[in-house]
Amino acid sequence: MPVGTAATVKGLSQSALEDLGVQILLCNTYHLFLRPGHELIRQMGGLHEFMSWPRAILTDSGGYQVFSLAKLRKITDDGVRFRSHLDGSEQLLTPEKAVQIQVALGSDIAMVLDECIETPAPRNQAQKALERTTKWAQRARAFFLEQEKQNDLAQMQFGIVQGATFADLRRESARQLLELDFPGYAVGGLAVGEPHELTCEMAGEVITLLPSDRPRYLMGVGKPEQLADYVSLGIDMMDCVLPTRAARHGCLYTGYGRVLIRNARYAKDPRPIDEQCSCGVCTRYSRGYLRHLFSADELLAAILGTHHNVHFYLDMMRQIREAIAFGNLAKFSSDSHERLAAGPS
């Protein structure tokens, strides 16, 4: 899922996203709650109508954004009290409030509020966060089911497994959430600084417990060469700001590693970003031209770079699906690591 934080994927119009084949976007509850406000979006017909996006939308709970604003927030069993990064106003985000906001937004998939903690974390802190995450999930689930009954919601709610880097806590979190019978489950609190191998280990501990007939979502991942590893574990859904954020900083992905397009070596390079890529950027523009755009800080630089990177990620997922169909996902994963580690010419 490309990340459309404030109801927009930076650098790409909705029609461009449709042309790229994007089926689902992630939008950010925290940011949309603060600006322009969930009630305004409700009055404008909901998030799909507001941003003119006819395909699926997943909204996160805002938990990770609050986690990242450590100096501006205080967590209690009731919820999270924080100060807006926009105007300093004090806000309270509870499990029920997160549901209320997402119901107003009208997303297709809504995440429960969870407590995300730093990694590495001491066991007692991870245990406490797990217990709070479960209690919040129970409250969020009960409130959501009430709203569903009253409003006939066309929305699915996902639970989020926590437990930091402790395998037994991860398993316990999953077991507790299974009792709430969510239609989908996410694995949160990973890819926040721990090694990739540890991310896979923790995700693997959880996936074996989660029902295979429901979506399993690993939040906030990952680098191109890591995607097949996660799918091999049984992950169905992923999101990451990396393709769009990296593009804006001149980091472009290819089947043979990253091209740091601002590098002087590309000034006279007539080749496309990736000679094997079929995206509209690679079929039309040279590395030399793209380097010029980035050097001149032209808006088109970020637009073209983002278009290519999103296409690259979506094509990587297409290749993964193809590898599954032909029964050679393990080989594809191994080859991807080897190719992408080699670096472009």
Please write the tens of the pLDDT for every residue from 152-177: 899 999 999 999 999 999 999 999 99
- Phi then psi for 83, rounded to 5 degrees? -105, 135
Distance of CA 105 to the CA centre of its chain: 18
Q: Which of 72, 151, 70, 78 is nearest to 110 (CA)?
A: 151
What letter does residue 296 receive in the DSSP assignment? T
**Which positions ≥6 away from 136 have C-beta within 8 Å?**
79, 95, 112, 113, 114, 115
Q: Where are the beta strands (DSSP E) in 148-228?
A: 156-161, 184-187, 216-218
Query: Can you give the pLDDT at residue 152?
Result: 87
Asked if the model's pLDDT at residue 18 lies above 90, the reply is yes
pLDDT over 90 for what percent of the chain?
A: 91
Asked if the model's pLDDT at residue 344 lies above 90, the reply is no
Query: Can you give the pLDDT at residue 127?
Result: 98
Read off the pLDDT of each residue in 15-41 and give the average, rounded to a whole number: 97
Using CA atoms, how far apart are residues 130 and 174, in angstroms rounded to an integer? Answer: 10
Using an 8 Å Cβ cutoff, are 326 and 319 in contact?
A: no
The bridge status of strand 184-187 relative to strand 80-83 is unpaired
Query: Can you give the pLDDT at residue 67?
Result: 75
Query: Can you give the pLDDT at residue 65?
Result: 83
**Which positions ≥6 away from 279 have C-beta within 8 Å?**
20, 307, 308, 311, 312, 315
Asked if the model's pLDDT at residue 259 lies above 90, the reply is yes
pLDDT in tens, 75-87: 999 999 988 889 9
Comparison of pLDDT for 247 and 342, the residue scoring more? 247
217, β-bridge pairs: 186, 237
pLDDT in tens, 210-229: 999 999 999 999 999 999 99
What is the chain's mean pLDDT, rounded? 96
Query: Can you give the pLDDT at residue 275?
Result: 96
Asked if the model's pLDDT at residue 339 lies above 70, the reply is yes
Query: Can you give the pLDDT at residue 70?
Result: 65
Read off the pLDDT of each residue in 280-291 and give the average, rounded to a whole number: 98
Using an 8 Å Cβ cutoff, are 125 and 67 in contact?
A: no
Using CA atoms, how far apart are residues 232 and 224, in angstroms rounded to an integer? Answer: 14
pTM: 0.96
Asked if the model's pLDDT at residue 128 lies above 80, the reply is yes
Report the 10 Å Cβ neighbour count for 198: 15
Asked if the model's pLDDT at residue 209 lies above 90, the reply is yes
Provide the token pair at 313: 């990620």
**Which positions ≥6 away from 96 have C-beta within 8 Å?**
139, 140, 143
Read off the pLDDT of each residue in 52-72 and give the average, rounded to a whole number: 87
Query: Can you give the pLDDT at residue 341?
Result: 78
Read off the pLDDT of each residue in 327-331 and give the average, rounded to a whole number: 97
The residues annotated with a catalytic role in the active site are 60, 239
- Phi then psi for 46, rounded to 5 degrees? 95, 170
